C-alpha cells in the first residue's frame, strides 16, 4: 500500500507527502517547518520518518520552509542543477543538509525510485516527479504553463497523479490582477488552467491513472468547485465513470484531513 497526502496546496504553499507505512519523502516544503511538522503529526506521520525532500523549483510557495525543515530533519535535498543554483542564490541552502543534483536515471530512496521530468515554468530548471513505490506509482505535475509529451510520459502508468488546476479562465479575466501578471499566468511558462487540466486528465485516465488529485489552485482566480466541475465534466464527456474509471478530488489549501491509501 502507498500513502499520499498534500500538506498544503495552493499558490501560497505546496508540499506533498508520498510514502509507505514505514517511511516517506516530501515533494516541496512551501510553508513553515512548524506547519509542516504539525500537519504531519496530525495525519499520523512521524516527521522523522521522512528520508528526503525533493524540490520542483525555487519559488517561495515551494521552498518557504525548506531550509529549516531539511536542517532539523537532517535529510538530503534533491533538485535539478538549475533549481539548486536558484536555491543557493536565494539563500535557501545553508550547508546544514546535503544537496544532490538529480541525475537523468533518477534516485533510489529505500525501496522507492524517484525520477523527474521537465515542466514549463518561469523558474531556472523546474521539474515534476514520478515516484515508484514497490506496488504503486505516484506522479506530481504542478507549475507548468503547458502540457508536454515529456510530462505525459512521466505520468503514464501512474496510479495517482497530483495535477495542477491553477485558474479558471473567466475568473482570471475578470479578476483584479494587473495585465502583466495575467499574461504571465497564462503564458507557456506560467500555470495550468482548469481547461488544460481537464484535457490532460482525460489523457491520463485514458492511460490508466485511477486517482486524480487537482492541486495548486489559485485562491484568487479559482474555486475548488470550478476546478472539480471542469475536469469532472470533461471526464464524463469522454465516457469515463466516476468510481469505476477514476476517483477525482481537489487538494485543500491546508493539509488533507487524512492521507489516501491505495
Ligand atoms: Zn512556481
Ligand atoms: Zn507554485
Task: Measure 61 CA to ligand 2 centroid, in angstroms.
Answer: 5
Task: Measure 210 CA to ligand 1 centroid, in angstroms.
Answer: 26
Task: Measure 201 CA to ligand 1 centroid, in angstroms.
Answer: 21
Cβ-in-10-Å burial (0-12, 13-18, 19+) of 96 comes to exposed
Rounded to 10 degrees, what is the CA torsion of 42, 48, 54, 60?
60
* Residue 21 grid cell: 507505512
Task: Measure 239 CA to ligand 2 centroid, in angstroms.
Answer: 32
Asked if 10 and 34 count as a contact pair (C-beta separation under 8 A), the reply is no
- Per-residue pLDDT tens digits of the chain, which is 262 residues long: 999 999 999 999 999 999 999 999 999 999 999 999 999 999 999 999 999 999 999 999 999 999 999 999 999 999 999 999 999 999 999 889 999 999 999 999 999 999 999 999 999 999 999 999 999 999 999 999 999 999 999 999 999 999 999 999 999 999 999 999 999 999 999 999 999 999 999 999 999 999 999 999 999 999 999 999 999 999 999 999 999 999 999 999 999 999 999 9
What's the pLDDT at 35?
98
Task: Measure 154 CA to ligand 2 centroid, in angstroms.
Answer: 19
- Ligand positioned closest to the Cα atom of 30: 2
User: Cα(first)–Cα(last) distance of the chain, in Å?
Assistant: 6
Asked if 16 and 27 count as a contact pair (C-beta separation under 8 A), the reply is yes
For CA atoms 43, 61, 203, 104, the dihedral sign is: negative
Asked if 198 and 246 count as a contact pair (C-beta separation under 8 A), the reply is no
Q: Give the full edge-to-edge strand order of the sheet including 24-27.
A: 99-101, 77-79, 50-54, 24-27, 13-19, 3-10, 260-261
Cβ-in-10-Å burial (0-12, 13-18, 19+) of 218 comes to buried
Q: Write the CB contacts of 60 (distance below 8 Å, at least 6 apart in sequence).
A: 30
- Say what the pTM is: 0.97
Rg over alpha carbons for the chain, rounded to the nearest Å, is: 17
- Ligand positioned closest to the Cα atom of 164: 2
Task: Measure 116 CA to ligand 1 centroid, in angstroms.
Answer: 16
Task: Measure 196 CA to ligand 2 centroid, in angstroms.
Answer: 17
Task: Measure 59 CA to ligand 2 centroid, in angstroms.
Answer: 6
Domains and CATH numbers, the chain: 3-252 (3.60.15.10)
Task: Measure 225 CA to ligand 2 centroid, in angstroms.
Answer: 20
SS3 category, 242: strand
* Residue 174 grid cell: 475578470
- Ligand positioned closest to the Cα atom of 61: 2
Q: Supply the angle between the helices 194-206 and 224-237 in degrees, to the nearest 10.
A: 40
Task: Measure 11 CA to ligand 2 centroid, in angstroms.
Answer: 5
What's the pLDDT at 94?
87
Angstrom distance (rounded) from CA 248 to CA 203 = 14
What is the separation of C-alpha 232 from the centre of its chain, rounded to a whole number of angstroms? 20
What's the pLDDT at 95?
86
6 phi/psi in degrees, rounded to 5: -95, 135
Task: Measure 165 CA to ligand 1 centroid, in angstroms.
Answer: 13
Q: Write the CB contacts of 122 (distance below 8 Å, at least 6 apart in sequence).
A: 145, 184, 187, 189, 190
Angstrom distance (rounded) from CA 165 to CA 87 = 25
* Residue 111 grid cell: 525501496
Task: Measure 242 CA to ligand 1 centroid, in angstroms.
Answer: 31
Amino acid at each position: 500500500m502507498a500513502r499520499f497526502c498534500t500538506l498544503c496546496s495552493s499558490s501560497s504553499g505546496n508540499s506533498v507527502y508520498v510514502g509507505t507505512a514505514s517511511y516517506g519523502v516530501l515533494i516541496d516544503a512551501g510553508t513553515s517547518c512548524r506547519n509542516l511538522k504539525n500537519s504531519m503529526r496530525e495525519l499520523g506521520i512521524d516527521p522523522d520518518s521522512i528520508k528526503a525532500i525533493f524540490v520542483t523549483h525555487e519559488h517561495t510557495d515551494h521552498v518557504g520552509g525548506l531550509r529549516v525543515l531539511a536542517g532539523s530533519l537532517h535529510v538530503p535535498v534533491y533538485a535539478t542543477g538549475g533549481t539548486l543554483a536558484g536555491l543557493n542564490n536565494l539563500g535557501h541552502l545553508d550547508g546544514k543538509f546535503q544537496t544532490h543534483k538529480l541525475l537523468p536515471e533518477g534516485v533510489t530512496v529505500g525501496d522507492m525510485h524517484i525520477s523527474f521530468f521537465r515542466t514549463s515554468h518561469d523558474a531556472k530548471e523546474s521539474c515534476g516527479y514520478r515516484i515508484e513505490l514497490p506496488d504503486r506509482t505516484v506522479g506530481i505535475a504542478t507549475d507548468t504553463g503547458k502540457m508536454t509529451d515529456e510530462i505525459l510520459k512521466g505520468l503514464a502508468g501512474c496510479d495517482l497523479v497530483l495535477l495542477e488546476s491553477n485558474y479558471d479562465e473567466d475568473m482570471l479575466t475578470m479578476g483584479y490582477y494587473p495585465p502583466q501578471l495575467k499574461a504571465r499566468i497564462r503564458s507557456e511558462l506560467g500555470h495550468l488552467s482548469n481547461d488544460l487540466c481537464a484535457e490532460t486528465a482525460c489523457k491520463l485516465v485514458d492511460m490508466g491513472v485511477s486517482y486524480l488529485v487537482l492541486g495548486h489552485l489559485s485562491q484568487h482566480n479559482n474555486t475548488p468547485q470550478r476546478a472539480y466541475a471542469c475536469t469532472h465534466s470533461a471526464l464524463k464527456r469522454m465516457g469515463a465513470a466516476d468510481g469505476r474509471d477514476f476517483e477525482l478530488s481537489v487538494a485543500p489549501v491546508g493539509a488533507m484531513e487524512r492521507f489516501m491509501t491505495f
